[in-house]
Structures are given as structure tokens and as C-alpha cells.
Chains A and B, each alone.
Chain A
Amino acid sequence: MKILISFITALMFTAMPVNSYAKTKKLKGPEVVEIADISISLSGLVCDFCSIALNKTFRKKDEVKGTYIDLDTKVMSVALIPEAALSNEEVMELVKKAGYSTLKITRKDGTEFSPPKT
């Protein structure tokens, strides 16, 4: 039993520093909306756990400077570091990896992409 308790405690303490590091490294507030390079309309977004899954998945990418999700509009804003790019396919793959679906991708220059309905 001591081993199990030690395992769970160690698990929690090892996960937390990684989390904290990620938080300080990337932008995560609503200010991201103002500087967003990509806006993604999503389906299946119903709670904060959904937001966490998407934010963490995107923020692992080196190209991503910050993300923010508005549950009311169901739009995820993604800011990229200078000179970086994420293709529509990469965006859809990241959304799918987090467990959600892409309805529309809108770029800063106004171009839009809607994936074909499956």
C-alpha cells in the first residue's frame, strides 16, 4: 500500500511542474484573441475540460505562442510565433487528437476553410 501511495504522490508532483512550465511559456488568456493568427470553430465543445484538452494539445507545438478558447462562441484562437505556420491539415489533426471536430478555420488574412463533412 505504501508503494501505491508513493506512486500516486510522485505522479502528482511530477505532473505539476511540467504543467506550471507550460503555463509560463505560452499565452493563455483572452488577449490571444486580439493577436490570433488562426481562429477555429469547433464542435463538441461543452465544458472547461474540453478547453483544457485543446489548449494543452496545441500548446505542445513549438509553433504556437498561445491559445484561448471562448466557450460561448465555440472558437479557439491560436497565436503563432513569428514566421511559424500551421497548415489546415495540421490544425484539424490537432483538434482531432484532442477529441473534437473542426467546423471552420479562419486565418488572419480573412481566408476561410471548411473541412468536408464526413
Chain B
Amino acid sequence: MRIIAIFFTGIFLVSPLAHARPVSYPGGWTLILTNDVIQNSALAHYTLDTQHSLGLRIRHDREGDFIFTGAQLNRLVKRWNTADSQANLYARIGVGAVSDNLDTSEMREDRGTDIGFFLDTSADWETRRYFTSATAQYWNNGRFGEISNFQGRLGVAPYIANTGSIHTWLMVEGRYRPQNRNEVSAAILLRFFKGPALFEIGVDDAGEPLLNYTHRF
């Protein structure tokens, strides 16, 4: 537990976190870190070809207090390029081990380890001014239960930045997570984007922070 805490704390301090396209260019590495009230997640993936990337995913479910560790395959199902916009449809699948995040100070039985998997589909559309995305996820965590997650985002760039400049986005995010204590929630966030680094910082309607970071190598 301590190692995991140090890992994610380091992630928070060294870098911000992120939502980014799950398939990059062939041969490219991407690190995606996501932290909010329900999870801390890290994904490192390698893009195999124009449509597929394969990665390692570690996710700590903060409400269920368990950890998923496994492989994740991302597929770019379809991309639509136009002169001023880009739209994408993605599918993801992951399989791995789900283990209890039992701390030695906790007075409860270890729930052990089980096999888990998840399915995810998402779509996005963006121009240099506007951004929108939608995601649906299903997690089967074995004995740790099932999770569904639906979320959407809208964003606007207050100014249009050119290559190499800092790009800034104002975004709102809505979430529906039927198995969570707060089924419906919303968040506002700022996205900063420069070169290979994308950082997001925000707060949800319960006052909980949201930090994401993506880096393309």
C-alpha cells in the first residue's frame, strides 16, 4: 500500500494528469495518469500501428479500495479528419488481476485476488476552438463487484494557440456512476497543453480535486 501511495503521490507532484487519445503514432509511447475522487490510474501504452496500442494499466478504485493491474488494448475504430476538425471512435479492453488494497493498519480480512476485465468505448470531436467527448465503461472486478461509468465533456479554448505555445481549455465534465455513492456528479477543469505534455486540473461538485497528466514520448 505504501509503495502504491508513494507512486501516485509522485505522479501528482512530478506531473499533472490526463485524458488523451489512447492511440498515438506507430512506435510512440504514451503515459496517461488520471486521478479523481474515485480512482488513481496509470496507463503506459505503446502504439503498435495506426489503429492499435497496447499498454499496462494500474487502477486503484478508491471507493472499493482494490487495485486492478493488467494489460489494456486500445483500438481506434474510426477517425474522421476534416480541414478544421477531427473526430474519433475508440474501443478498449483490459484484462488483469484485481487485488485487495488492504493496509496493515486495517482491521478486516484480506479479500484476496481475483480476475477482472473492463470494456470501454469513447468518442470525441474537436476543432481548435471546441471539444466534446463521451465515454462509457464497464468494469467487472470479480469478487470486488461491477462498475459502470458514463461521462461526457464539453470544452472551449479561450484563444487559439499555434504550434509550441501553451494551449488552454476550459472544460466541464458530467459523470453518471450508478454504483457509486454519488451517482451523478460534475466537474470543471482547466486543460493546459504544450508540446508533448497535457495537464488537467479541476474540481468536482463535492469539492474533490481532479488531476490528469498525459505525456507523449
Contacts and interface: CB of A to CB of B under 8 A. Distances in A.
Interface in A71-116: 71-72, 74, 96-101, 103
A74 B126 CA distance: 15
Contacts of B167: 47-48
B56 A49 contact: no
B153 interface: no
A19 B29 CA distance: 10
A68 B164 CA distance: 10
Interface residues of B, number: 44
The size bracket of the interface on A is 35 or more
B7 A52 contact: no
B86 A5 contact: no
A51 to B, nearest CB: 6
A48 B82 CA distance: 17
- Which has the most chain A C-beta neighbours within 10 Å: B27, B127, B161, B164? B164
Interface in B44-79: 44, 50, 56, 58, 69, 76, 79
Given A49-B20, A70-B162, A72-B162, A12 B31 contact: yes
Nearest to B4: A1
- Which has the most chain B C-beta neighbours within 10 Å: A4, A12, A48, A97? A48
Nearest to A102: B81
B32 to A, nearest CB: 12
Contacts of A64: none
B178 interface: no
A68 to B, nearest CB: 8
A97 B51 CA distance: 9
B175 interface: no
A1 B7 CA distance: 10
A97 B3 contact: no
Contact of B50 (A1, A8, A19, A97): A97
B85 interface: yes
Given A7-B56, A72-B162, A57 B26 contact: yes
Contacts of A72: 160, 162
A61 interface: no
Contacts of B95: none
B194 interface: yes
B91 interface: no
Interface in B148-187: 160-164, 167
Given A47-B126, A48-B194, A74-B83, A5 B217 contact: no
30 contacts: A1-B69, A4-B56, A5-B3, A5-B7, A7-B56, A8-B31, A8-B56, A12-B29, A43-B81, A44-B79, A44-B85, A46-B86, A47-B126, A47-B128, A47-B193, A48-B163, A48-B195, A48-B196, A49-B20, A49-B193, A52-B195, A53-B24, A53-B25, A70-B163, A71-B128, A71-B162, A71-B163, A72-B160, A72-B162, A98-B50
The 8 tightest CB contacts between A and B, nearest first, are A44-B81, A53-B25, A15-B217, A44-B86, A101-B81, A43-B81, A15-B29, A71-B163
